[in-house]
Amino acid sequence: MSEHNQELGIVGLGKIGGNLAKQAVEKDIRVVGFDTEDRSDLADEGVEVHDAGEYDTLVEELDTPRVVYLSLPAGDLIDSELDSLLEVLDEGDVVMDGGNSFWRDSMRREERAWDEGVYYLDTGTSGGPPRASEGACFMVGGREEGFEIAEPYLDTLSVDGGLLHVGPPGSGHFVKLVHNGIEFGMLQSIAEGVELLKSGQFDVDMADVFHNWSNGAVIESWLVKLMELGLRKEDQQSDAPDFEDIPNYIEDTGEVNWLVSEAYKGETPIPVISQSVTELFKSRGQQRHAYRAIALMRHGFGTHPFGEDDAIRQERFSGRVDNEARHDLRDADDMDPVGPLADEDA
Residues that are catalytic: 176, 183
Taking residue 127's Cβ as centre, other Cβ atoms within 10 Å add up to 21
* 175/178 Cα distance (integer angstroms): 5
Any idea what DSSP says for residue 132?
Answer: H
* 288/294 Cα distance (integer angstroms): 10
* 299/291 Cα distance (integer angstroms): 12
Residue 249 and residue 284 in contact, taking contact as beta carbons nearer than 8 Å: yes
Contacts of 307 by beta carbon, 8 Å cutoff, 6+ apart: 247, 249, 251
The count of residues in the chain is: 346
* Exposure string for 211-221, b = 16+ CB within 10 A, e = fewer: bebbeeeeeee
* 21/30 Cα distance (integer angstroms): 9
Edge-to-edge strands of the sheet including 94-97? 48-51, 29-35, 6-11, 67-70, 94-97, 119-126, 136-141, 158-167
Residue 110 and residue 120 in contact, taking contact as beta carbons nearer than 8 Å: yes
Element (H, E) at 68: strand 67-70
Q: Judging by DSSP bridges, how do beta strands 48-51 and 6-11 pair with one another?
A: unpaired
* 260/80 Cα distance (integer angstroms): 27
Contacts of 219 by beta carbon, 8 Å cutoff, 6+ apart: 190, 213
